[in-house]
Amino acid sequence: MWCIFCRLYTFVTMLETESLRKNLVRFVTNLIVRYMLAGVVVYCCWTAIMYYVHYWFLWHVILCTFGMIPLMTEALMLFAPDELWTKQLTRTQKYWIHGFLMILGTVLVSAGCIDNFYNILKGYHLYTAHGIVGLIAMILFILSIVVGCLANYSQRLTKFGRPVTFKFIHNFLGLLGFVIGIASLCCGYYTNWFVNRTSEESRIVAVVVTILASLWILNGSLVSLYNQIKTRT
């Protein structure tokens, strides 16, 4: 282990420019964040599988978790300049992949939510913070996709608004939905079902990991949104 660390340190010190070092740090951080989010997925899904109660609740956890993580997180990280696997993609290709991941993620989240709303005591789920916030996030995701489709054809809709306006609204709704969706996920850790089957320490770790990873994923998107606001003003 020490030998590996020494080699990595030697490699870093051999980098000629500060930008390369910065990109390496961001690349490693992206990798760590992905492992953190993978841990969240395993924690949520494994808990639901181990303490299986009803098939509809199991699918609610699995579908919503996979819809938010990894699909939507990857859709947001797609445009990060330090993402090596997207370097060879054109911007148009990135848009199509982004749209596919967001649509698939929204379908999974919506299916998981509808399944749960239908089965839990005729809507009792909506009386919990987790359920209410999750429903809001689902609606925002759907609206974001609709506006995203309009943004894709915004050149033909100039009489209704500028292309940058459609893109701004799409990004704003998507980011807001993601933030609220993460809030719903964190609230889910403290629903009665989860509290009765997990330790307090594991829930605290899950919340901290989820928030830290989400903040890192959002940083690039928020910078892009800020630049759009400056362009519009």
Per-residue confidence of the chain (233 residues) as pLDDT tens digits? 544 454 455 545 544 555 666 667 777 888 899 999 999 999 999 999 988 767 778 888 999 999 999 999 999 888 776 676 777 788 888 889 999 999 999 999 999 888 776 665 554 556 788 888 998 999 999 999 999 888 877 667 666 667 778 888 888 999 999 999 999 999 999 988 899 999 999 999 999 999 999 999 888 777 666 665 666 55
> Does 133 fall in a domain?
no
Q: What is the pLDDT of residue 11?
A: 47
> Does 10 fall in a domain?
no
Q: What is the pLDDT of residue 17?
A: 58
> Does 182 fall in a domain?
no
> Does 214 fall in a domain?
yes
Question: Residue 209 and residue 39: Cα distance in Å, rounded?
Answer: 9
Q: What is the pLDDT of residue 137?
A: 94
Number of domains in the chain: 1
- pTM score > 0.85 for this model? no
> Does 215 fall in a domain?
yes
Q: What is the pLDDT of residue 14?
A: 47
> Does 103 fall in a domain?
yes
> Does 177 fall in a domain?
no
> Does 173 fall in a domain?
no
Provide the domain limits for residue 198: 34-128+187-232
Question: Residue 217 and residue 127: Cα distance in Å, rounded?
Answer: 30
Q: What is the pLDDT of residue 39?
A: 95
**Could you identify the residue written with the tokens 């609204």?**
169
| Upper half-sphere CA count for residue 79 (Cβ side, 13 Å) | 20
